[in-house]
């Protein structure tokens, strides 16, 4: 088993990093180039960069801003937002991404997962899922910034996505997004038990214990967070030491 990855997430609009709560009340945070460099120096294992309004605005990913932001970092990064064709995927790889995250287009055209996996390798295809709890033990997949309920069951969609060739899943809890009340461990456990690819937990990190609990309880392969890192509430080096001291395999 490889080390647990600590992954800061940069949500971008108009070339700036932003953050909201439950996909709403989005406010400006900082310059992405500055944050990416800081996270690289701080010991992040990789960075995920989402152009969060690209799909809603039906435009291509703002690769110019992303290339600027990542030009001086030495750790892997993943690009998402606005990927709708094989060419878009290829342009992200050419921009330096080690992986590309797809979400809306995968729901609209699942066979694209297979096509992208065949051409670029499953290890480069990340299926991102924005998920909201429906009722006890059931979650649905949402699009359009959490406003459109696809009706897809999250567990079934995860299984289908992996079967089609997704090499990693990022599971983002809309209910937990920006709340700092902990990851949705129940959901993550169910998905982890259903597929055989790496799972990254997203949505809800607020304190050191939240990271430890989801790693131990749901056996996730990576933990993604934004607010607690952006606003200096948790330093990555402190988080890694905390986890290491508790027997979690992380790269210091």
CB 212 within 8 A of CB 244: no
Residue 157 near residue 129 (C-beta atoms within 8 A): yes
- The residue to which tokens 């988080």 are assigned: 239
Q: Tokens 């096509």 correspond to what residue?
A: 115
Quote the pLDDT of residue 21: 80
User: Which of 11, 62, 184, 221 is flagged as catalytic?
Assistant: 11
Asked if 2 contacts 221 with a C-beta cutoff of 8 angstroms, the reply is yes
Whether 115 is catalytic: no
Q: Is 238 designated active site?
A: no
Rounded-to-5 percentages of helix, strand, coil across the chain: 35, 30, 35
Candidates 130, 177, 184, 221; catalytic one: 130
Average pLDDT over residues 156-167: 98
Say yes or no to pLDDT of 147 above 70.
Answer: yes
Give the residue ranges of DSSP H helices in the chain.
Answer: 32-42, 63-70, 86-94, 104-108, 111-120, 154-164, 185-194, 208-218, 227-230, 236-245
pLDDT of residue 135: 80
Q: For a pLDDT cut of 70, what percent of the chain falls above it?
A: 99
Q: How far is CA 42 from CA 78, 121, 211, 240, in A?
A: 18, 30, 17, 10
Mean pLDDT of all residues in 41-54: 96
CA distance 168 to 199: 6
pLDDT for position 202: 97
**Confidence grade of residue 144 (pLDDT, cut at 50, 70, 90):** confident
Beta bridge partners of 125: 100
Digit-coded pLDDT (tens) for 52-85:
999 889 899 999 999 999 999 999 999 999 999 9
Rounded average pLDDT over 208-216: 98
Which residue shows structure tokens 């995920």?
48
pLDDT of 213 reads 98
With bands split at pLDDT 50, 70 and 90, how would you rate the model's confidence at 1? low
> What is the set of domains in the chain, with CATH numbers?
5-245 (3.20.20.70)
What local confidence, expressed as pLDDT, does residue 102 receive?
Answer: 97
Looking at every residue in the chain, the average pLDDT score rounds to 95
**Distance from C-alpha of 53 to C-alpha of 13, rounded to nearest angstrom:** 7
Tell me which of 22 and 153 has the higher pLDDT.
153
Say if residues 33 and 27 touch (Cβ distance below 8 Å): no
């Amino acid at each position: 088993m490889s080390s647990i990855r600590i992954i800061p997430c940069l949500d971008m609009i108009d070339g700036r990093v932003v953050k909201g709560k439950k996909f709403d009340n989005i406010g400006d945070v900082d310059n992405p180039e500055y944050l990416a460099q800081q996270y690289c120096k701080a010991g992040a294992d990789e960075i995920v960069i989402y152009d969060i309004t690209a799909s809603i605005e039906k435009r291509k990913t703002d690769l110019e801003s992303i290339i600027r932001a990542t030009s001086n970092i030495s750790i892997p990064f993943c690009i998402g937002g606005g990927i709708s064709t094989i060419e878009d995927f290829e342009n992200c790889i050419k921009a330096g991404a080690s992986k590309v995250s797809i979400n809306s287009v995968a729901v609209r055209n699942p066979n694209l997962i297979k096509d992208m996996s065949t051409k670029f390798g499953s290890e480069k295809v990340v299926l991102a899922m924005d998920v909201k709890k429906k009722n006890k033990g059931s979650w649905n997949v949402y699009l359009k910034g959490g406003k459109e309920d696809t009706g897809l069951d999250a567990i079934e969609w995860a299984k289908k996505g992996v079967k089609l060739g997704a090499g990693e899943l990022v599971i983002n809890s809309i209910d937990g997004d920006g709340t700092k009340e902990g990851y949705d461990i129940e959901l993550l456990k169910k998905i982890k038990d259903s597929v055989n690819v790496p799972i990254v937990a997203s949505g809800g990190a607020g304190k050191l214990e939240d990271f430890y609990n989801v790693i131990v309880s749901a056996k996730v392969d990576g933990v993604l967070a934004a607010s607690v890192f952006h606003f200096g509430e948790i330093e990555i080096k402190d988080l890694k030491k905390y986890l290491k001291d508790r027997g979690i395999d992380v790269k210091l």
